[in-house]
Amino acid sequence: MLNLRALQLFIAVAERMSVSQAAVAMHISQSALSRQIQKLEDDLGMRLFERAGKRLLLTAEGEDLLPRASQLLQQAAALSQRAQSLHRGEAGYLTVGATPQTIEAVLAPVLRCLREKNSGLEVRLLEGPNEQLLEQLETGVIHAALAWVPYEQKFACQDLFKARLYAVLPPEHPAVGAQELELSNIGDWPILSLKRGFMTRSMFDQACVDANLRPQRIVESDSTQTLRALASSGMGVAVVSSTAVSQWPSQEVIPLTLNGSRLEEVVSAVRNVERYQPLALQVFLAELRFFLTQSLDGARFRQFSTPFY
């Protein structure tokens, strides 16, 4: 196994063609440097230098190995620098899962800021409904998820914000223009909802159970944009989350309540403590907290969802 220090000394001597000058530059005694070069030659089984009178010359083998030794040291330095960046969380790979609306409203601006500050950090996004995200976290497909954890699991949760239920009303609905809408006052309109597995749908289903309501017609979609368009066309009442509506004009949406209280659940940064956590995760979470509490990009989001910081 080659000694990188010995290669540094070899290069220092070769660049100066002087053992004494190289010893001064490398802060080592001349005798110690000579022993290191001798040991390197013994390890390689060849001479690297020869004497021509008082002159020191590279052998043909030394000439051949010099650029390769320099390249190897450059690669070692780059590897060391990369390791330091990884240790600080400024580089590396991180896989994060979230719903499409959370990616649009939260992660898109967060990742833009991360890219500007840490060009060596690569975050891969996987989108899906809440239940799927938790399954991916369990199996190690993703390192972290922005999700709602509705029951006790072996996950570490860092609470981020409260997501609330909002309604997009058809133009003919009597509650258009009101400050809020009690769940029991939705009326006989069809409910336009995300499919089962999404947090929004689970929240709405549970609220209906609590209110002893049984919606007769539910139109399902994977897209909140589709639900919004259908509601605006008079096809029913769309039930969406505050994460989605933070991207829409506020006059289009109305908070849903149950017995006068807002319908809300906690969205957390969820980690599987039984699996390895990349060091870059802490940098990602710090940028996420900044977006939720201080950044100008997050100001509108904070109008609809309450951060925990």
Q: Where are the domains of the chain?
A: 4-87, 91-161+267-307, 163-264
**In this model, does residue 49 exceed pLDDT 80?**
yes
Range in 118-127, 188-197, 203-212, 283-292 with the lowest mean pLDDT? 118-127
* The domains spanning 91-161+267-307 and 163-264 adopt the same CATH topology: yes
Strands 155-168 and 253-258: antiparallel
By three-state DSSP, how is residue 263 classified? coil
Question: What mean pLDDT comes out for the span 68-94?
Answer: 81
* Contact by Cβ (8 Å): 22, 29: no
pTM of the complete model: 0.75
Gyration radius from the chain CA atoms:
31
Q: What is the pLDDT of residues 123-156, one digit of tens each?
A: 899 999 999 999 999 999 999 999 999 876 779 9
Domain at 4-87, CATH from 3.30.1300.10, 3.50.50.60, 1.20.120.450, 1.10.10.10: 1.10.10.10
Q: What is the separation, in whole angstroms, between the first and last Cα of the chain?
A: 52
Handedness of CA 268, 274, 275, 280 (dihedral sign): positive
User: What's the CATH code, domain 91-161+267-307?
Assistant: 3.40.190.10
Select the more confidently predicted residue: 161 or 82.
161
Give the separation between CA 127 and CA 110, rounded to whole angstroms. 16
User: What's the CATH code, domain 163-264?
Assistant: 3.40.190.10
